[in-house]
Amino acid sequence: MKKVVFKVILFNVLVILFYMYVGQIIPQIESHPPKEITIAAGMSATELAAVGKELFYSKGTCVLCHAIGEKGQRAPDLAGVGERAKTRKEGMKDFEYLAESLYNPTAYVVEGWQPIMPVINKPPINLSDDEIHAVVAYLQTLGGTPTVTLETKFAAATAPAAAAAPAAAMKVEGADAASRAKSILAQGGCIACHSLDKPDRLIGPSLFDIGKRKDRAYILESILEPDKVIAQGTPPYPPGLMLGTLQGIGFYQKVTAENLLTLVDYLSTLKGK
């Protein structure tokens, strides 16, 4: 009996030694929980910019659309933005322009791009004012020197100018229904997030075969209440982004019922190849 107990113990010891040995030779696979991002009062502009950089690549989801140092497909390359922000708008300091780009993205739309950038202090991105200060300090480093601290005031830049403007109905021209629909798709910024003639995924699913996959009721609902049903995709599609963008550009105030029907009719004719 004693012998058996001894054997069991010896076996266990050997097993433990074996695992210790294996543990030594296999490089440790550590799990990295998402790093806690803390913003402390009194941080220097450089320290704040480092936090801003982390936010840019994580919670800010800026890289969904922007690249730095290469031409993005969805949004302008932000390399050098710290420098060009100084001259973008007359009478506006670089950090004021950058802050305005985040709080009120449609106040200045970079030439050649669609106004699809979401308001950054609103859902789904929802950065706090302190976090926006950090991101602005980081943007300054892209071609310039960070000066922004938590003390910096952005007041003028953050006033919701867009909300004050009365919503004029969308101007839709075109001889036939299809060209009117295309005009609405362009003005709604839809074409920046959806491809219409190819199966390629952009920020949202391709709509090139939406008329085959879905009925008119679903299409209308997807436009009016984008988050009610979230389209399936791998990686998953970001909820809230379409709604936030359409609200941001005042789409729902500007689109008429007639425009919506034209749009839904057109989309339901898209049957893919």
Write out the residues near ligand HEC by the rule CB under 6 A.
Answer: 56, 60-62, 64-66, 74-76, 81, 84, 88, 98, 101-102, 105, 108-110, 113-118, 120, 135, 139, 188-190, 192-194, 203-205, 207, 210, 219, 222-223, 226-227, 230-231, 237-239, 241-242, 245-246, 251, 263
Measured CA to CA, the distance from residue 246 to residue 190 in angstroms comes to 9
Residue 168 CB, nearest approach to ligand HEC (Å): 17
Question: Which CB atom, from 108 or from 265, has the smaller least distance to ligand HEC?
Answer: 108
> Cis omega before residue 124 (within 30°)?
yes
Residue 91 CB, nearest approach to ligand HEC (Å): 16
Question: Which CB atom, from 47 or from 54, has the smaller least distance to ligand HEC?
Answer: 54
Question: Which CB atom, from 92 or from 219, has the smaller least distance to ligand HEC?
Answer: 219
| Contact criterion met (CB below 8 Å) for 115 and 73 | no
CB atoms under 10 Å from CB of 68, counted, come to 16
CA angle (104, 102, 149) in 5-degree steps: 125
| Contact criterion met (CB below 8 Å) for 135 and 52 | yes
Residue 95 CB, nearest approach to ligand HEC (Å): 11
Measured CA to CA, the distance from residue 194 to residue 192 in angstroms comes to 6
Residue 241 CB, nearest approach to ligand HEC (Å): 5
Question: Which CB atom, from 9 or from 163, has the smaller least distance to ligand HEC?
Answer: 163
> Cis omega before residue 235 (within 30°)?
yes
Residue 30 CB, nearest approach to ligand HEC (Å): 29
One-letter identity of residue 129: D
